[in-house]
């Protein structure tokens, strides 16, 4: 745009001065529009003579990574409760007063170790009485045997009546029966005397005592509890769908009475997040599915040589249940979750972004299995997703393991 100005020579200076003075009274209001017009023309001139628009902005830089494809073991976790391999409530078998506690609460106790002592004196007296009765029965049996031995030849010679010999024989048989009864009473008295020493039935950890010295106890009284904790059991529920997938393995024939040979090895994650160093094994499953939860309880066992694990602890049991072959994986941070759907930003060969809705599968560590929506080797954006939109151009940079931290 070009502007041409023509300058005309007007009246002389004095004439112009005269005209200016004669119109001074009327020119104040008219000079303002004229000034605005001049300024507008100058603005138009400046606008038409301005510089051209700047260069377009460069595409944003984003970090990309190719979609990986490999076989992936699928790991499942379940909440587990620990319990003793064998648990026993220690109860006395006789009635009496506690006179001694011989174990330290919470400590290991070997099989047969005495935990409590009940006053043995009444039982010792009963044993002595039973032994005396046995001696009497033995003496009576001896007398009747003598009678039989004496009367047998006399009866043969008809020196005495046969009925007398018959009475002697029956008395001897009764005496022998009395001896057997007395022997049983002695044995029972000896057992009761032995029961005054309450022992552990197996190696385990003894719990806190439920009675004190001087308490009168009977066979229904719980004195304490003992649990075998090496190995220790872990109970955890699995869903019916998981059970159907694992049934062939966890119900497989067993090498020995405790563990199916094809059952997957188990890891135990403790309450503080640490992983227990020893692997566990599946022992067996419950007989039925819980109809209220749709789960079935699985029983497993873990070695516990240092008695570190105790009944009642909670943890998580983890196991590789199956393997996904040729699974497609991307970093979890590349997946965009929006209103229940999942998206990936894929960069094509022309550096254009294609935002795709994908179907996700299991999470594996820091990665996510993609069931549908991408192909192996395609580049997905893991950093800078917020800078792009569908169809926009980007400057992709391959994310290295060091840069990505994966």
Residue 45 is predicted with a pLDDT of 40
Section 324-337 average pLDDT? 93
Residue ending a domain, among 281, 303, 323, is: 323
Residue ending a domain, among 323, 341, 374, is: 323
Q: SS3 for 110?
A: coil
For residue 51, tell me if it sits in a domain: no
When pLDDT is cut at 50, 70 and 90, the band that residue 406 belongs to is: very low
Residue 113 is predicted with a pLDDT of 95
For residue 5, tell me if it sits in a domain: no
For residue 31, tell me if it sits in a domain: no
Looking at the structure, tell me whether residues 313 and 358 fall in a common domain: no
Q: Check which CATH number belongs to the domain holding 196 and give it.
A: 1.10.287.470
Q: SS3 for 124?
A: helix
Residue 254 is predicted with a pLDDT of 62
Looking at the structure, tell me whether residues 354 and 280 fall in a common domain: no
Looking at the structure, tell me whether residues 110 and 201 fall in a common domain: yes
Supply the range of the domain harboring residue 381.
63-71+325-404
Q: List helix spans (H) across 217-332.
A: 240-250
Looking at the structure, tell me whether residues 305 and 344 fall in a common domain: no
Please list, residue by residue across 283-297, b when 16 or more beta carbons sit within 10 angstroms of its beta carbon and e when fewer do. bbbeeebeeeeebbb
pLDDT in tens, 189-217: 999 999 999 999 999 999 999 999 999 99
For residue 36, tell me if it sits in a domain: no
Q: What share of the chain is helix, strand, coil (3-state, %, to 5)?
A: 30, 35, 35
Looking at the structure, tell me whether residues 103 and 209 fall in a common domain: yes
Section 213-237 average pLDDT? 96
Residue 132 is predicted with a pLDDT of 97
Spatial neighbors of 89 by CB under 8 A, at least 6 apart, are: 222, 225
Closest CA to 300 of 325, 326, 279: 279
When pLDDT is cut at 50, 70 and 90, the band that residue 253 belongs to is: low
Looking at the structure, tell me whether residues 99 and 211 fall in a common domain: yes
Residue 255 is predicted with a pLDDT of 57
Looking at the structure, tell me whether residues 242 and 318 fall in a common domain: yes
Looking at the structure, tell me whether residues 98 and 175 fall in a common domain: yes
Looking at the structure, tell me whether residues 232 and 319 fall in a common domain: yes
pLDDT in tens, 37-61: 434 443 444 444 445 555 678 889 9
Please give the Cα distance from 31 to 13 (Å, whole number): 20
Dihedral Cα 138, 143, 145, 150, nearest 10 deg: 170
Q: Residue 107 is encoded by which pair of tokens?
A: 């400590």
Q: SS3 for 131?
A: helix
Residue 109 is predicted with a pLDDT of 95
pLDDT in tens, 258-292: 566 667 899 999 999 999 999 999 999 999 999 99
Element (H or E) spanning 96, and its range? Answer: strand 96-101
Looking at the structure, tell me whether residues 194 and 301 fall in a common domain: no
Residue ending a domain, among 217, 249, 268, is: 217
Section 163-168 average pLDDT? 92
Residue 259 is predicted with a pLDDT of 61
Q: Check which CATH number belongs to the domain holding 378 and give it.
A: 2.40.420.20
Residue 250 to residues 61, 82, 298, 349, Cα–Cα distance (Å)? 51, 19, 9, 48
Q: How buried is residue 162: exposed, middle or buried, by Cβ count under 10 Å (0-12/13-18/19+)?
A: exposed
pLDDT in tens, 22-33: 444 444 444 444
Domain count, the chain: 3
Looking at the structure, tell me whether residues 122 and 213 fall in a common domain: yes
Mean pLDDT of the chain: 85
Query: Helices 121-156 and 162-195: crossing angle, nearest 10°?
Result: 160
Looking at the structure, tell me whether residues 188 and 98 fall in a common domain: yes
pLDDT in tens, 4-13: 433 344 444 4
Residue 22 is predicted with a pLDDT of 45
- Give the pTM: 0.67
Closest CA to 107 of 217, 229, 278: 229
Q: Check which CATH number belongs to the domain holding 232 and give it.
A: 2.40.30.170
Residue 211 is predicted with a pLDDT of 96
């Amino acid at each position: 745009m070009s502007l041409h100005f023509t300058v005309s020579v007007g009246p002389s200076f004095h004439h112009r001065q005269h005209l200016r003075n004669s119109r001074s009274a009327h020119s104040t209001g008219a000079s303002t529009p004229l000034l605005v017009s001049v300024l507008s023309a100058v603005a138009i001139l400046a606008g038409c003579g301005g510089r051209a628009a700047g260069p377009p902005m460069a595409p944003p830089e984003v970090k990309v990574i190719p979609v990986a494809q490999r076989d992936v073991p699928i790991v499942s976790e379940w909440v587990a409760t620990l319990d003793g391999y064998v648990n026993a409530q220690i109860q006395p078998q006789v009635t009496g007063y506690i006179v001694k506690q011989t174990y330290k609460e919470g400590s290991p106790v070997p099989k047969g170790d005495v935990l409590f002592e009940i006053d043995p004196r009444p039982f010792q007296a009963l044993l002595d009485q039973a032994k005396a009765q046995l001696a009497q029965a033995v003496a009576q049996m001896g007398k009747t045997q003598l009678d039989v031995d004496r009367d047998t030849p006399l009866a043969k010679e008809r020196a005495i009546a046969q009925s007398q010999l018959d009475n002697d024989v029956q008395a001897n048989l009764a005496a022998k029966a009395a001896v057997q009864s007395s022997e049983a009473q002695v044995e029972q008295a000896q057992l009761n005397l032995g029961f005054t020493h309450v022992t552990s039935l197996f190696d385990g950890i003894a719990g806190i005592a439920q009675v004190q010295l001087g308490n009168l106890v009977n066979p229904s009284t719980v004195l304490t509890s003992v649990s075998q904790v090496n190995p220790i059991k872990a109970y955890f529920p699995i869903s019916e769908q998981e059970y159907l997938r694992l049934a062939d393995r966890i119900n497989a024939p067993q090498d020995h009475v405790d563990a199916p040979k094809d059952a997957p090895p188990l890891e135990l994650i403790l309450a503080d997040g640490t992983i227990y160093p020893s692997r566990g094994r599946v022992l067996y499953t419950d007989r039925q599915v819980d109809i209220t939860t749709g789960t079935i309880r699985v029983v497993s066992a873990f070695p516990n040589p240092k008695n570190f694990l105790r009944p009642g602890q909670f943890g998580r049991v983890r196991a590789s249940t199956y393997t996904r072959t040729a699974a497609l994986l991307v970093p979890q941070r590349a997946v965009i979750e929006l209103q229940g759907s999942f998206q990936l930003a894929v960069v094509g060969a022309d550096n254009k972004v294609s935002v795709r809705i994908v179907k996700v599968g299991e999470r594996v560590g820091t990665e996510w299995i993609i069931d549908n929506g991408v192909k192996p080797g395609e580049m997905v954006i893991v950093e800078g997703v917020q800078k792009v939109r569908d169809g926009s151009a980007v400057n992709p940079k391959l994310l290295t393991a060091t840069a990505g931290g994966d």
